[in-house]
A and B are shown apart, each in its own frame.
With several copies, the nearest count.
Chain A
């Protein structure tokens, strides 16, 4: 019997920042994401514990997403728990550009 066994391993990196994602903190996150994106093109950024995101933080999300998509992958976001932070993602239409999920499990499923 001739038989081909094939195994595919999908690596999904999951990042959960816990503090303010503002213009001061953004460069550190950018660096961490770039390191991860050197090893995988599928990334979940779990924003659930992030209390504040400004446009510099949002820019880091977009640039990671662009890089991941170029490499055939994607960046998915887990919604912030903070209601005001969620509203800003609606306002800027980020929720239409990113695949959004309510939990990390939901984000990784069928990635």
Chain B
């Protein structure tokens, strides 16, 4: 297995196919050479799904034909999964958003909170015409 095991997925920015991202993450981690527990897989899937949903709903709010690019890379020592999402929609820095008050239940507004709670590193980079959200998850137990 090489240092740069990388998988790219490029898909329509539609909520319909976000399950493909989840399925790819699970399959990729199943074969990554390190045993990864179910909760770690689930939490990674959830954070990435939230980020993709935000791209569809907010970044591409005015562009139904947009696309999302998902890049999965295995990093070693310690084993980590890096997920990079790119889109060409409206720029937006998720790290700048205030987190919800969990004692006041609300309809929506949990997406960025989940991303920041469940991933180990979250960073954002905007280049003209391309937003890039990078998330890293350690492949040790989330139990």
Contact = CB atoms under 8 A, between A and B. Distances in A.
Do A and B have CB atoms closer than 8 angstroms in the complex? yes
Contacts of B22: 52
A55 B110 contact: yes
Interface stretch (A6-14, A40-48, A90-98, A101-109): A90-98
Given A22-B19, A24-B18, A83-B38, 11 more contacts: A22-B18, A24-B16, A24-B31, A52-B45, A59-B108, A84-B39, A84-B43, A84-B142, A88-B46, A91-B117, A92-B102
B18 A23 contact: yes
At the interface, is chain A mostly helix, strand, loop or mixed?
helix
B42 A52 contact: yes
Contacts of A36: none
Interface of B: 15-16, 18-19, 22, 31, 38-39, 41-43, 45-46, 49-50, 53, 56-57, 102-103, 105-111, 113-114, 117, 142
Interface string A53-75: 01110110011011000000000
Interface of A: 20, 22-24, 52, 54-56, 58-59, 62-63, 65-66, 82-85, 87-88, 91-94, 97
A59 B107 contact: yes
B113 A54 contact: no
30 contacts: A23-B15, A23-B57, A24-B15, A24-B16, A24-B18, A52-B45, A52-B46, A54-B46, A54-B50, A55-B50, A55-B53, A55-B108, A55-B110, A58-B110, A59-B107, A59-B108, A62-B105, A62-B106, A83-B38, A84-B38, A84-B41, A84-B42, A84-B43, A88-B46, A91-B117, A92-B102, A92-B110, A92-B113, A93-B103, A97-B105
